[in-house]
Chain A
Amino acid sequence: MPITIRLIENKDWPHRTLYPGCTKHIGPYLDEHSGRRYTGFNQENEADRIRLEKELHTDLSERSEFWDFFTIPLAEDDLILYPENEPQDELKSIFMAGHAQGCNAENGVDPTKVFVIIDEEKSAEEANKKAKLRRKILRSVDDMSDDDVRNCLRLFGINPQGVSNNVCNHKLDEIVEQQPQRFNDLWLNNPQRSTYILFHKAIGANLVVKTKGVYTYNAEVLGTTPEQCIAYLSSDNHLETRQGIALSLEGQQPKKRNTKAAEANAE
């Protein structure tokens, strides 16, 4: 499948992407902090670099003179690359794919972006992945009890105490809409979910306190970040602490209201 590279429309004055006859080149850049030159190749695609070096008879290493002259000219017309057929186009597509000034359907446009990469195959693949995840999440949300919803909100830093079930469900819907991946990571695919819930409940019940940047339970230091505390509590060596917190929480549960007595009083 061909890949299309298109300059992003300039919305500022003079509302033209390019003056007629002008060209905008996309080239290598230096990373401000490391000083390394961006070439599109890194450890992950080292094999591609070696293969392309052979096919193009060119040194493609970072310090090669090749990158002193390498630019990809973009004009008002789209640039269409055929990476599966042409090694030159494959090199260009690798270079453009990770370029800091480029964006695609997944990562979106921001003011630092200059061009957009339209790869229908890849976009469809990504869109399918997202849709699949979304379907999976919606199925699991349907099966969640009210307690699950409240526990889930705790993982996202929302305290559900004193909030009605309707509001809790609405907030969960918002999370599912806006952060599906995070919902998947924190709720669906989180092996330490119960520890997360326990920890957040303990904070809500003032059993675990944060003092001077350190989380403690009965003067026992758990860690300085929630992640550290959860790792601490998940460890088998600290099973007693974990059980202690769980028992304390149970002891603090408010007694169920005698609804019949309440109704009688109301009458």
Chain B
Amino acid sequence: MNNNILGGLQIINTRNASGLVETRSLDHLLATKPYEMGTILSQIFGNYKGEEVNVLDAVTRGLGRVQKIEIDAFEYDWGVEMAFDESNPIVRAEWNGATVTSTDFAGLNNTTVNLYVKNPYYGVGAILSFDNRDIQVRVQSPGFQFGESSCYSVVMADGNPESYIPYKYLVPGKRVAREGSAYEEGSNDADILNYNNSVKLRNKITTSRMKYDITRSAATTKTIVEWIDPKSGKKSYFFTDKQKWTAWREWYRRLDNYNVYSRYNTRPDGTVKVFGTNGRPVHVGAGLFQQFSPANNRPYTRMTPSFIMDMLSDLSYNKLGKGERKFLALTGEMGMRNFSQMLETKAANFQLTDTVFVSGSGQNLTLGGQFTTWKLYNDIELTVAPFRWLDDPSLNRIMDPLTRRPASSQDMYFLDIGHRDGEANLRKIVKMGSENLVWHTGGSIAPDRNTIKDVNTLRSNGYDGYTVNFLTEGGIMLADASTCGVAKYNVI
């Protein structure tokens, strides 16, 4: 992950507003450049105080990975294309008009075997193999649906009258898979291709809101945010009221937290049982962790190199190409420490000529460094990044009995943040025109305006200050979670 999207970030609080021009105020910029400022805010809050506070927001919207959905939609769906050719479970096998038993020699003398499989994947001429790939059969007739299974007539592909399919490969639950296809001259048959959308997922967007009050006297302190664009080297800034800045930061923090932990609340029949004060249903979409839940899951009680290798193997083996095996693991502070310690232990066995861990000279020697990236076999690369939500003891209350810190601090969430068919695998979903809406109700003062001394000026209430409302409609989408997983530090 690029931690240096913004360089030289500085945040200054001042009452001296001289030199600040109206066009550089946050409100003005959000109104005139909403997309650009949304991205910059994600990057700023992602890197605030040098910590990746809202890391999820930073790796999605901060990198422009946002998908907008129609204004009238409140849910979105997508297909996850899994393996084109997956193995097919056998439901039953018949030979000579009866179910095959352990004493049968199914297929002997080039006789036909009726194979009942779970899915209708094959055309006439397909060559199928069993758990032993040396035993192959040819599909002789188009399949037909029989109950919940599909029935195919097959014969031994090697044509040897002495060949047969051993019973142990025909037991229900065993599998067949396509090896290829073979035809006679002038054939009119052909094998078929399965566009296999194994999983269709549907999620909802959540409407989040927050409001804050700002008093008349507090509205006078300004916060100036300065940063340097690392590409052009140009310095930019914007300014805003200090309390407004604090509120924006908290707003981003809450959104990011809820994008991780929100739980889907729509019943399977499509109804929602949670209603707001005006009687309308409250829709909540599935957050990142809920989207993770049916993905790979491997518990651990001690982090070792072998464990990490096994975990990464679960995520990539037979799923990702060699160039695609770059993983980001989000973990808490203790997880970062364990990862570094584990690699230090591993590196201790090597004969290193150190130019990295010891620096300085004379009385100013420095020892140390932290491992955050590990390059493994078969082009696998793992980078760990801190994920602060896992460290908060007020939210994570199951403690590690050894350190008495939250056990979740050692959980590792392996994210595949690559692309699928040109689309980011992890992306933010927002409803068109409904992202980061901000408005105010004015009292004695309004944003960026002086107090009112004219009785003819209409304000909405008598409050000595003004109130600001935030609203956003959005969520998070992990398009293909089968290459993601959780390594859970297992404390029960």
Answer whether A16 and B294 are a contact pair too, CB < 8 Å, given A21-B482, A22-B485, A35-B401: yes
Complex interface: chain B residues within 8 A of A28 (CB): 299, 301, 490
B306, B481, B492 interface centre (most CB from chain A within 10 Å): B492
SS class, residues of chain A in contact with chain B: loop
Residue of A nearest to B490 (CB): A29
Complex interface: chain B residues within 8 A of A17 (CB): 294
Contact A25–B297 (Cβ < 8 Å): yes
Contact A27–B290 (Cβ < 8 Å): no
Answer whether A27 and B263 are a contact pair too, CB < 8 Å, given A32-B398, A33-B401: no
The stretch from B45-53, B59-67, B80-88, B218-226 touching chain A is: B80-88
Interface size class of B (residues with CB under 8 A): 35 or more
Contact A19–B264 (Cβ < 8 Å): no
Residue of A nearest to B173 (CB): A77
Contact B294–A10 (Cβ < 8 Å): yes
Complex interface: chain A residues within 8 A of B299 (CB): 25-29, 71
Q: Is A169 part of the contact surface with B, judged by Cβ < 8 Å?
A: no
Q: A101's contact among B203, B300, B492, by CB below 8 Å, is which?
A: B492
Q: Is A251 part of the contact surface with B, judged by Cβ < 8 Å?
A: no
Q: A30's contact among B268, B294, B306, B401, by CB below 8 Å, is which?
A: B401
CB 8 Å contact bits of A22-47 with B (1 = contact, 0 = none)? 11111111111111011000000000
Bound complex: CA A68 to CA B307 (Å): 8
Contact B399–A19 (Cβ < 8 Å): no
Complex interface: chain A residues within 8 A of B482 (CB): 19-22
Bound complex: CA A12 to CA B285 (Å): 12
Contact B296–A24 (Cβ < 8 Å): yes
Q: Is A132 part of the contact surface with B, judged by Cβ < 8 Å?
A: no
Bound complex: CA A63 to CA B175 (Å): 39
B173, B301, B318 interface centre (most CB from chain A within 10 Å): B301
Q: How far is the CB of A213 from chain B (nearest CB, A)?
A: 31
Contact B319–A20 (Cβ < 8 Å): no
Contact B297–A20 (Cβ < 8 Å): no
Answer whether A68 and B295 are a contact pair too, CB < 8 Å, given A20-B198, A29-B490, A32-B492: no
Contact A18–B83 (Cβ < 8 Å): no
Interface size class of A (residues with CB under 8 A): 20 to 34
Q: Is A127 part of the contact surface with B, judged by Cβ < 8 Å?
A: no
Contact B399–A68 (Cβ < 8 Å): no
Q: Is B298 part of the contact surface with A, judged by Cβ < 8 Å?
A: yes
Bound complex: CA A236 to CA B266 (Å): 64
Bound complex: CA A95 to CA B286 (Å): 33
Q: Is B96 part of the contact surface with A, judged by Cβ < 8 Å?
A: no
Contact A20–B83 (Cβ < 8 Å): yes
Interface residues of A in 106-141 (CB under 8 A from B): none
Residue of B nearest to A15 (CB): B268
Contact B490–A16 (Cβ < 8 Å): no
Contact B264–A12 (Cβ < 8 Å): yes
Contact A20–B86 (Cβ < 8 Å): yes
Contact A100–B82 (Cβ < 8 Å): no
Residue of A nearest to B306 (CB): A69
Q: How far is the CB of A172 from chain B (nearest CB, A)?
A: 38
Complex interface: chain B residues within 8 A of A31 (CB): 401, 491-492
Residue of A nearest to B285 (CB): A13
Residue of B nearest to A69 (CB): B306
Bound complex: CA A34 to CA B299 (Å): 19
CB 8 Å contact bits of B302-321 with A (1 = contact, 0 = none)? 10101100100010001100
19 additional A-B residue pairs with CB within 8 Å, beyond A21-B318, A30-B402? A10-B294, A12-B293, A14-B286, A17-B294, A19-B82, A21-B319, A21-B482, A22-B295, A22-B481, A23-B296, A23-B298, A23-B314, A27-B300, A30-B491, A30-B492, A67-B301, A68-B304, A69-B310, A71-B298
Q: List 12 A-B contacts (CB under 8 A).
A: A12-B290, A16-B294, A19-B294, A19-B295, A19-B481, A20-B83, A21-B83, A23-B298, A27-B298, A32-B401, A35-B401, A71-B299
